[in-house]
Amino acid sequence: MIKKWSILSIVFTIVTVLTGCEPLLVLDPKGPQAERQASDIMLSIGIMSIIVLAVFVILFIMLVKYRASKQSEDYEPPHIKANIWVEIICVGIPVLIVAYLSFVSVQSNNIVESAPKGYEDKEPLIVYASTSNWKWHFSYPEENIETVNYLYIPTDRALEFKLYSFGPITSFWIPQLGGQKYAMSDMVNTLHLAADVPGEYMGRNANFSGEGFAENTFNVKAMPEEEFDDWVKEVKKAAEPLTEEKFDELLKPGHVGQSTYTGTHLEFMPPPEGENGGHHHGSSKSEKSVDDSHEEHSNQNHH
């Protein structure tokens, strides 16, 4: 048994020491949602370590004390009936732990599913993030610009991502800003995030979507709001307009680099929300403007 523990602890130390040099992305949050998630993760690791430790210690004691080699030859183990109090403890303590974690979990669900706290003074920035095999399209309806495979965001302002897909189910994920959510072709999902700190972050599709999945990534750059506004102005001045033909070309399966456009595809190819959702059988598809449709709570409309 000593062999086992030594090997176990060696594995643990190697792994923790070598990865400990740089903080793991998820545990190095740069926004309020990711912070909440990281603290949930650390909390559950802490509580779970106690349980793991308890099991290890009991197992260790049992193995040390009750090995056949430590006992006389004629020792006959007794027939032991379960003790009701032991069983109550074995049920009771896990119930208490699960109850506490459930409480935290429900609280966190409501936090990550609503607009981040502390940004109420400003309207959230709405970005439509959509995928096609194997690219990310980011449409900024207010600013009326669109980017491919990169995302610029302001700090000090809440972000509201509207997620959908032109193909297989994908998952929008920026680990340091918060957890992921699916983008699907027949509905629009809303993901609330915010960035506290300027910097560059990794973003990717986390859900397997076919051959080009591994490279289905995007760069995120968070910057102070003035800088962001300058960038928008710059784009409007310099970038080409996004035409329907250009967008059709972008939709073709494959990989493309980063690019920037004025105008968004939302105008000629509305997202699957509201009347354009995937499950409104028989309703006539009217050309609604984007501003009307994103006021509806699209992620509750798909039934």
Partner 1 sequence: MDYFDRFAVPHPSPAIYVSMVAIGLTVIAIIAGLTYFKKWGYLWREWLTTVDHKRIGIMYLISALLMLFRGGADAIMMRAQLAVPENTLLDAQHYNEIFTTHGIVMIIFMAMPFIMAFMNFVVPLQIGARDVAFPRLNALSFWLFFMGAMLLNISFVVGGSPDAGWTSYFPLAGNEFSESVGTNYYMLALQIAGLGTLMTGINFITTILKMRAPGMTLMKMPMFTWSALVTNAIIVFAFPVLTVALLMGTMDRLFATNFFTTANGGMDMLWANFFWVWGHPEVYILILPAFGIYSEIISTFSRRNLYGYKSMVGSMVIISLLSFLVWTHHFFTMGQGALTNSIFSITTMAIAVPTGVKIFNWLFTLWKGKIVITTPMLYSLLFIPIFTIGGVTGVMLGMSAADYQYHNTMFLVAHFHMVIIPGVVFAMLAALHYYWPKMFGFKLNEKIGKVGAWVISMSTLLAFMPMFFSGLDGQARRMYTYSESTGFGFLNMLSFIGAIGFAIGFCLIVYNIYYSTRYASRDISSDPWDARSLEWATHSPVPEYNFAITPQVNSAEAFWDAKKHGHELFTGEYEKIHMPNNSGVPFIMGCIFFAWGFSFIFGMWIPVIISTIGIFACMALRSFEKDHGRYISVNEIKKTETSRGA
List binders of partner 1 among 6-35 (CB under 8 A). Answer: 7-8, 11-12, 14-15, 18-19, 22, 24-27, 34
* Footprint on residues 207-236 left by partner 1 (CB under 8 A): 207-214
DSSP for 173-235, written as a single string: EETTTEEEEEEBTTB-EEEEEE--S-EEEEEEE-S--STTGGG-EEEEEEE-HHHHHHHHHHH
CA distances from 147 to 82, 97, 130, 233, 265 (A): 65, 46, 11, 14, 10
Q: Applying CB under 8 A, does 145 fall inside the site for partner 1?
A: no
The least distance separating partner 1 from the CB of residue 232, rounded to whole angstroms, comes to 28
Separation CA 213–CA 255 (nearest Å): 10
Nearer to partner 1, 213 or 231 (CB): 213
The least distance separating partner 1 from the CB of residue 104, rounded to whole angstroms, comes to 7
The least distance separating partner 1 from the CB of residue 247, rounded to whole angstroms, comes to 19
Separation CA 251–CA 59 (nearest Å): 57
Q: Where does this chain touch partner 1 (CB under 8 A) — which range of 79-87, 117-125, 145-153, 256-264?
A: 79-87
Q: Where does this chain touch partner 1 (CB under 8 A) — which range of 143-151, 204-212, 220-228, 234-242?
A: 204-212
* Footprint on residues 275-294 left by partner 1 (CB under 8 A): 278-279, 281
CA distances from 131 to 77, 114, 138, 218 (A): 64, 23, 9, 11
CA distances from 160 to 35, 113, 180, 223 (A): 17, 11, 13, 16
Query: 188: closest CA among 158, 160, 225?
Result: 160
* Footprint on residues 48-67 left by partner 1 (CB under 8 A): 48, 51-52, 55-56, 58-59, 62-63, 66-67
The least distance separating partner 1 from the CB of residue 16, rounded to whole angstroms, comes to 8
Query: 204: closest CA among 228, 176, 246?
Result: 176
* Footprint on residues 96-125 left by partner 1 (CB under 8 A): 98, 101-102, 104-106, 108-114
- Which positions from 124 to 143 touch partner 1 by CB under 8 A, shown as an x/- string? ---------x----------
Q: Applying CB under 8 A, does 256 fall inside the site for partner 1?
A: no
